[in-house]
Amino acid sequence: MLRLAINGYGRIGRCLLRALHESPLRERMAVVAINEPADLESIVHLTRYDSTHGRFHLPVEEREGGLRIDGQPIAVSHGNTPEAVDWAALDVDLLLECSGRYADRSGIDRFLAAGVPRVLVSNPMRNAEQADATVVYGVNETALHCDARIVSNASCTTNCVVPLLHLLLDDPGIEAAVITAVHSAMNDQPLQDGYHRTDLRRTRSALQSIIPVSTGLGRGVERLLPALSGRIQAHHLRVPTLNVSAMELCLQLRRDATAEEINRRLQNAAAGPLAGVLSFTERPHASCDFNHDPHSCIVDGTQTRVTGRLLRLMAWFDNEWGFANRMLDVAECWSRNWVKETA
């Protein structure tokens, strides 16, 4: 049984715990510890009830200063720094770092120094070389190896678009790409106009406006698909919805293609090698239909358009739930390498 700990029990941290208990992976791994500075009463309450994903389907109790879920104990600590928790005493195999506070090697190394053997980070690192691997499950999980100590799970938007780009990169080929993320509001935006540390646009109410924000998506794609270096632009719009986002990809292809050909290729991949990661639909959906969907990417085939060599694709994704499920997939895949090494 793989022993997991979660550092930072916010949107992704709580989704990870829920997703694990809804997944067959619960037979192979368990969350045994959570570190979150918030008070225990709030932690318990937000575990039981979630405005986006509903009630936890198992009994959640406060017991002996921690959580107990369906009878299984989870130790809870309230440290503000990596050094404030005795990680070695918790005997964890892998830390899922979900606070979003650490994006460079020096920050993550503090967890290793404090007794954590390995860290899977829920955000991209500032520089690719600062992680032993950056993984988009379904594309490059073979990059995981037993000697790695720090792995990045990239971002939810990267996990959505990279499988699509990877499928089309060699044939019909991609000359250039412009990607627009239409993303649900996030907790770094105020409900009413208020101050933001770095971005004047994000001082405005998340409920009232479509807000352009900066994005590192283009750099993230280039790290994973270096053949696209210098040929990709990305834009990011925050919209007043609670969850589920969309990606619009405009691709200049190397050869002529048809919408039917592209859809057939993506549909076959969703039914075959990328099953569980990629999905495909041609039904008349709206974004709310994909709340709690575990896929990284759901291609909306009704929106595929081709004009000569210009391809337009649209894909949906639950930016919380899909990403949390991929973190669990990466954790399980990575752990198989440890088992092989031990054997």
Express each pLDDT in 286-342 by its tens digit.
999 999 999 999 999 999 999 999 999 999 999 999 999 999 999 999 999 886 555
Q: Is 108 annotated as a binding residue?
A: no
Q: Which residues contact 190 (CB under 8 A, 6 or more apart)?
A: 196, 202, 203, 204, 205, 206
The residues that are catalytic are 156
pLDDT at 342: 52
Quick one: 66 and 120 in the same domain? yes
Q: Is 319 annotated as a binding residue?
A: yes
pLDDT at 339: 63
Beta strands 2-7 and 94-97, pairing class: parallel
Quick one: 237 and 327 in the same domain? no
Q: Is 187 annotated as a binding residue?
A: no
Quick one: 99 and 139 in the same domain? yes
- What is the Cα–Cα distance from 135 to 152, expressed in whole angstroms? 6
pLDDT at 338: 80
Quick one: 315 and 278 in the same domain? yes
CATH number, domain with residue 141: 3.40.50.720
Quick one: 173 and 290 in the same domain? yes
Quick one: 23 and 148 in the same domain? yes
Quick one: 213 and 238 in the same domain? yes
Quick one: 125 and 198 in the same domain? no
The ranges of the chain with pLDDT < 50 are: 343
Q: Where are the alpha helices (DSSP H) in 94-216?
A: 105-113, 156-168
pLDDT at 337: 83
CATH number, domain with residue 267: 3.30.360.10
What average pLDDT does the structure give for the chain? 95
pLDDT at 341: 55
pLDDT at 23: 96
- What is the Cα–Cα distance from 120 to 123, expressed in whole angstroms? 9
Q: Which domain holds residue 83?
A: 2-154+323-342
Count: domains in the chain: 2
Quick one: 147 and 270 in the same domain? no
**Percentage above 90 pLDDT, the chain:** 94
> Which amino acid, 228?
L
Quick one: 166 and 311 in the same domain? yes
Quick one: 79 and 125 in the same domain? yes
Quick one: 257 and 269 in the same domain? yes
Look up the pTM and report it.
0.95
Q: Is 263 annotated as a binding residue?
A: no
Express each pLDDT in 223-240 by its tens digit.
999 999 999 999 999 999
- What is the Cα–Cα distance from 31 to 92, expressed in whole angstroms? 9
**Percentage above 70 pLDDT, the chain:** 99
